[in-house]
Every structure is written in structure tokens, then in C-alpha cells.
Copies of this chain bind each other. A is one copy, B any other.
Amino acid sequence: MSGKKRATIVDVAEAAGVSMKTVSRVFNNEPHVRKALKDKVLRAAKALNYQPNVVAQGLVGRRSYLIGLVYENPSPNYVVELQHGALDRLHGERYRLVVLPVESVANVAGKMLGLLRSAALDGVVLTPPASDHRQILDELSESGFPFVRVAPTRYPDIGPSTMTDDVAAACDMTRYLIELGHRDIGLIKGDPTHSATEARLFGFSKALAEAGIAPRLDLIEQGMFTYESGIEAARRLLDRSDRPTAIFAQNDDMAGGAIMAAHELDLDVPRDVSIVGFDDSQIAKVTWPRITTVHQPVYEMARSATDMLVAMLENKPYENKLEHPYELVVRQSAAAPGSSG
């Protein structure tokens, strides 16, 4: 299958007239190799088209140079952002990224460690909701399996993590709606197994409380972070006589669904109803109108989580907690009640 056989460290050593240990030293950038020898080795390696065998390096070093990225997420944009953050950090390193989407985090809890071990991963980046799943965190901690958590909202003491302040972000967004003049604000919650759902609910309530607005529980609907669930939840909110003048969907996919529901009910956004989201994912730029949202630093969180993990694996120092700033992104989907922006 594989044409000519690949050259090994022994081939290079023979061609260069040195021991294989010297070749090893050169390829690992160890100090104390005379320049003359080093050049000979490099020349021989080049002639033989030598590349170290990572698998052999892995066996002796008891590691695979494989990092896993665990996610359970229906949003392609979010997933791709996570992957790019992790991959960009790994660029130029020996480590490779193995993707581990799971159907349901709850279903793999208890099997996570076995899964990671059988895949021979050196460490793993956990994203929501896995990064907040107590059983998984305990399982990994107890066995000493290296992991970093992205965007956790609870158990702050378990393991290193990167995050953004979801509570503050949701609070800011709600304040923005209140400042525009909204009082009856609907909320579409996300998947209840993601703890961001709670965090964003807290931020929402906090802003209402600050403004002295009594919360209206009848304007809170459950969604699942998917587009379809956004459509359905929004229909329930909009298809009533005392409908809210604004809707805060806990992510952009659901906000997009809400906009679709409004269109279908012949309501103008933002004149008849303002709709805002959370995440700043691609969909927020492609709906009509474009969605006012919160930019979540997904790429940055994934990137710095990967950075921490690599540091852990190499026994280098690293920050244990890193918070990345969010940002309110004002587009065209929200305006003062009755105004078209």
C-alpha cells in the first residue's frame, strides 16, 4: 500500500555516520550537538526524506500527541469556531486535533474516561454542556486525565477554564432593550442541560430588577438552542393579544427562528417586535433584519483553553482561569417600541 518504505532514525544515523541518539538530539532541538554533526544529520535526513515517527515517539513517551475536542452542539458555526480556535493554537506543534462530537453528554457520562483513553488522547478540551457536567468532571479529575473547560458556569474550582461573563452579557443586552423603552420583554430560554441557559436568565432578571420592572413569567418560553425551537417558542409569544414588544432569545439560532416566526405572522421586525440574540454566529448576519446580539469569544476561549492544555501536558506554567470579554453588537433587529429603527 505505502510505496517506498519510510526512512527511520537508524537509516539517517547510518547515512550520517552518527548514532541514532545524535539524530534524535538534532530533531528534538536538544542543545550540545556540534554544528558539523548537526549539519551532517540534517543533510542525511533531507536526502532520505526523513520524518520522525510520531507513533514511536508516542509509545516511548507514553503519549499520543493527540488532543480531543468534546462538544454536543447543534450549531455548525459554534462548532467550527471552537475547532478553529483549537487548531490555530496547535498549528506548528506536534499535536493533532481529534474531534469528538457527542449526541448527548448525559449519555456518555460515566463512559467519558474510557472513551478518551481508548482513543489514546493526551488531554481534552471540554465545551458546554460537558464542561459543566459534574460526573464527567469528577471522573476526569479523579483519574488525573488532563482537561480544560470552556465556558463553564459552575464548580469554578474544578480544573482550569476559559470563559466569558454570560450573566453580565445577558444583563447588558436586557438593559439595552429597557433603554430602548421596552417593558414587556419575552425570553426564549435555551437547552436546560446547558448551564449558560441559567446564567443568561440570571442576567436577564437582574436587569429587570434594577429597572424596577416586575418579571412576567408568562413571557418566558423554553427553547432548545435550535432554529426550529426558536420558531415555535416565538409563535407562542407572538400569537397572543398581549404579546411582548421585544424578545430576547438566548442564542442567535433561536433569534433567527423568532424572526422567521414574526415574518410568518406578518409582523415587522423591529417595528412590531424587537428581537435580539446571543453568540454573534453567522445566522445573525444573514437574516433580515440582521440580528442585534452579543459577541461571544468562542474562538478565543477555545484557543486559550487549548493553550492551557498544551502547557499542562508539557509541564509548563499556565493561567488557571482566563476570562475573555464579550461585546454587544448592535444591528437592525431591535428598536424603540413601535419604531422601525
Query: Of residues 57 to 105 in A, which have CB atoms within 8 Å of B's CB atoms?
Result: 58-59, 64, 66, 76-77, 79-80, 83-84, 87, 96-99, 101
A241 interfacial by beta-carbon distance below 8 Å: no
A118 interfacial by beta-carbon distance below 8 Å: yes
A213 smallest CB distance to B (angstroms) = 31
If A76-B79, A99-B97 touch, whether A260 touches B283 (CB-CB below 8 Å) is: no
Determine the chain B residues whose CB is within 8 A of the CB of A6 once the complex forms. Answer: 117
- The complex places the Cα of A55 from the Cα of B58 at a distance, in Å, of 7
User: Which listed segment binds B: A126-134, A137-145, A215-223?
Assistant: A137-145
If A143-B2, A288-B287 touch, whether A76 touches B66 (CB-CB below 8 Å) is: no
A19 smallest CB distance to B (angstroms) = 21
A225 interfacial by beta-carbon distance below 8 Å: no
A120 interfacial by beta-carbon distance below 8 Å: yes
Could you tell me if A120 and B55 are in contact, using CB atoms closer than 8 angstroms? Answer: yes
CB contact between A2 and one of B79, B83, B145 (< 8 Å): that residue? B145
If A64-B55, A87-B101 touch, whether A286 touches B288 (CB-CB below 8 Å) is: no
- The complex places the Cα of A282 from the Cα of B79 at a distance, in Å, of 14
A20 smallest CB distance to B (angstroms) = 16
Determine the chain B residues whose CB is within 8 A of the CB of A248 once the complex forms. Answer: none
Scoring A55, A84, A257, A283 by chain B CB atoms within 10 A of each residue's CB, the highest score goes to A55
Residue of B nearest to A283 (CB): B286
A268 smallest CB distance to B (angstroms) = 12
A186 smallest CB distance to B (angstroms) = 20
A164 smallest CB distance to B (angstroms) = 20
Closest 10 CB pairs of A and B: A3-B144, A76-B80, A76-B76, A54-B120, A55-B58, A76-B77, A3-B143, A96-B98, A263-B288, A256-B286
Q: Which residues of A contact B (CB under 8 A)?
A: 1-4, 6, 51-56, 58-59, 64, 66, 76-77, 79-80, 83-84, 87, 96-99, 101, 114, 117-120, 142-146, 227, 256-257, 259-260, 263, 282-283, 285-288, 312-313, 315
